[in-house]
Amino acid sequence: MQLGNEPDSFHNEGPDTVVLNGTQIGKDYKVLKQLLVDYNITYCVLTGPESAHLGPTSYKLFTDFITEAGGNLTAASIHHYYFDGPSATLASYLNSSYFKGYEHKILHGKAIIKVHCKTFLRRTQSEGITF
């Protein structure tokens, strides 16, 4: 279960978009976790924040989220996009040089998380694949 998707990309959605910070999202996860306990939902994989990137802008959101919600998560989750799906070809997917960022992304996420929880890489392909 997750609460939202790619909050580090909300600012790309337009001027009227509500942008949340990592601390607030972490607090929301604590509330969700307590609701699961209150309703006796004993087994639920709870992941977040489903960050699209771990670049300079999203690093603070991810770090603040983990600091606030880490103990309430099954795993912290990040996404990794190799290339732009609509412009990808079959050759793009067969070119291993595109996938070198995968290991770096996992190690970077684990360095932020430290001891709070596991790391899941939940989305690893590009959107809008056409061949």
- For residues 56 and 12, the answer to whether their CB atoms sit within 8 Å is no
The pLDDT tens digits of the residues spanning 57-94 come to 788 888 888 889 878 888 888 777 777 667 778 887 78
Q: What does the angle CA 21 – CA 118 – CA 101 come to, to the nearest 5 degrees?
A: 80
The pLDDT tens digits of the residues spanning 25-57 come to 999 999 999 999 999 998 888 888 877 777 777
3-class DSSP state of 76? strand
